[in-house]
């Protein structure tokens, strides 16, 4: 099984910190501490399969959709569960690029 990008990034960061002398891993490999950190943060990450470019594209799409009153009409909050302002707030949390 291949590791996802988030797990790979955590392992790489741990190894970089250890190489710089900023931390000392108590294991010969970073697998255990990386898995611990991954489990702690994975629920906060939108998806480990979406790239920064894809997230930025989704951000742009949301702003485009909520600004078009013909698309985001009075029924959209019922259909999606979020108002235009809530979508804008969520989109502002996504990376710009």
Is 19 a member of any domain?
A: yes
Question: pLDDT-derived band of residue 2, with 50, 70 and 90 as boundaries?
Answer: low
Q: Looking at the structure, tell me whether residues 58 and 87 fall in a common domain.
A: yes
Q: Structural domain of residue 18, as residue ranges?
A: 5-41
CA distance to 1, 5, 13, 33, 68, per residue, from 16 (Å):
24, 16, 5, 14, 46
User: Considering the chain, what is the average pLDDT of its residues?
Assistant: 87
Q: Are 42 and 10 in contact (CB under 8 A)?
A: no
Q: Looking at the structure, tell me whether residues 11 and 37 fall in a common domain.
A: yes
Is 46 a member of any domain?
A: no
Structure tokens at 72: 């985001």
Is 68 a member of any domain?
A: yes
Is 97 a member of any domain?
A: no
* pLDDT tens figures, 7-42: 888 888 888 888 888 887 777 778 888 888 888 888
pLDDT at 1 over 60: no
Interval 36-64 mean pLDDT: 86
Tell me how many domains the chain contains.
2
Q: Are 56 and 95 in contact (CB under 8 A)?
A: yes
- Which of 1, 3, 97 shows the shortest CA–CA distance to 49? 3
Is 13 a member of any domain?
A: yes
Is 63 a member of any domain?
A: yes
Is 27 a member of any domain?
A: yes
pLDDT at residue 25 in the model: 74
Is 47 a member of any domain?
A: no
Interval 43-54 mean pLDDT: 79
Q: With a threshold of 0.75, does the pTM exceed it?
A: no
């Amino acid at each position: 099984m291949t590791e996802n990008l988030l797990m790979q990034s955590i392992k790489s960061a741990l190894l970089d910190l250890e190489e710089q002398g900023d931390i000392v891993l108590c294991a010969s490999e970073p697998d255990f501490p990386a898995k611990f950190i991954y489990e702690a943060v994975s629920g906060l990450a939108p998806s480990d399969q979406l790239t920064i470019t894809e997230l930025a594209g989704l951000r742009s799409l949301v702003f485009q959709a909520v600004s078009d009153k013909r698309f985001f009409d009075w029924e959209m909050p019922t259909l999606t569960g979020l108002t235009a302002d809530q979508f804008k707030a969520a989109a502002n949390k996504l990376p710009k690029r």
